[in-house]
Amino acid sequence: MNSLILGSGFGLYGYFPAIVEISKKVYLHDKYKKKFKNLKIYQKFENKVLWYKNLQNIIKDIDLLVIAKKPSLQFKFIKEIFRYKKKFKHLFLEKPIDINPKDSLKLIRYLEKNKISYSFGFIFKYCSWFKYLKNNNKKKEISIFWFIKKKNLSNSWKYKTKEGGGLIRFYGVHFLKLLTELKFNKVINNKISNNEWSISVKNKKNNIISITLKYNDKDKFLIFKNGKIFKNLDNPFLKKIRKYQHDPRVKYLKNYILDELSKVRKKRSIHYFEFLDFWKKVEKNISVKKI
């Protein structure tokens, strides 16, 4: 299979090493060359890279397509690609899908209407701590704290809610997808301020999961089970994420890609519709105040 990756950020240091081993060739735009050269850890795969300048010239050779662009641009690139009427084996996109639940729903309906096999990069479910939450059904109360070091990037879309960023839409949306899968959809508490978001939900058995996300001067990820520390990590991915080094998220992306390629396309949308309904409910019923 040949793959095409659109996106020079997470597309290069995340998706490229995750998909290159199952690809015969990986197409990258010529303008990504400088960034790719800086990722020296992945130079061993350079013989699999084909650089292109004109998308129209290579589109017929692509089997797998990765679009790792910011939320406001993903739909635009989807429409641009699919005007060539090319049939792909699968389309991988990044979360949070689009800038908000409403626009995300439009995007998914477009994919469904055009019978495009797709999935979005919600990879928390491949982490060991999530597997525990999923498999342990005993009476419990779980509290999750994710302290996020805010980088000195004041203009980054990742911190702007209107662009699909912020504590809920960029970071918290991972958890909203997990909570949907776990059937924790009864909201007990839901508050947000400029630097912190907290939500508590329960399932039909009255088990409770509380999640707090907060911008901080240091990264930290903690899970408490019935008041006692269960996990104490730097981040949800177990290891620190360092620039120009092997990204710990790659192994989860590999699992996600192989898992999604093995699934049947039918009824894929149902899970996303449930998630989008929950995301919409969370944003609609939230207390905006200092926590």
Tens digit of each residue's pLDDT (9 = 90 or more) over 63-76: 999 999 999 999 99
Tokens in use for 284?
A: 């609609």
Tokens in use for 90?
A: 């699968």
Q: How confident is the model at residue 153 (pLDDT cuts 50, 70, 90)?
A: low
The most confident of 28-37, 267-276, 282-291, by mean pLDDT: 28-37
pLDDT at residue number 46? 92
pLDDT at residue number 134? 80
155 pLDDT higher than 90: no
| Nearest alpha carbon to residue 23 among 42, 3, 8 | 3
288 pLDDT higher than 90: no
Report, as an integer, the average pLDDT of 174-203.
95
Distance between terminal CA atoms of the chain? 50
What is the per-residue pLDDT across 222-244, written as a single tens digit (0 to 9) for each? 999 888 998 999 999 876 666 65
Segment among 22-26, 111-115, 128-132 with least mean pLDDT: 128-132
Give residue 269's identity as a one-letter amino acid code.
S
CB atoms near residue 277 (< 10 Å) = 14
Report, as an integer, the average pLDDT of 73-102.
94
Q: Which CATH superfamily is domain 124-239+266-288 in?
A: Dihydrodipicolinate Reductase; domain 2 (3.30.360.10)
Q: How confident is the model at residue 137 (pLDDT cuts 50, 70, 90)?
A: low
70 in Cβ contact with 102 (< 8 Å): no
Q: How confident is the model at residue 268 (pLDDT cuts 50, 70, 90)?
A: low
48 pLDDT higher than 60: yes
Q: Where are the beta strands (DSSP E) in the chain?
A: 2-6, 25-29, 49-52, 64-67, 90-93, 118-120, 141-149, 186-192, 196-202, 208-216, 220-225, 228-233, 287-288
What CATH code is assigned to 2-120?
3.40.50.720
42 in Cβ contact with 14 (< 8 Å): no
Report, as an integer, the average pLDDT of 108-123.
93
List the chain domain ranges: 2-120, 124-239+266-288
The rounded Cα 193 to chain-centroid distance in angstroms is 23
Q: Cα–Cα distance between 146 and 219 in angstroms, integer? A: 8
More confident residue, 137 or 96: 96
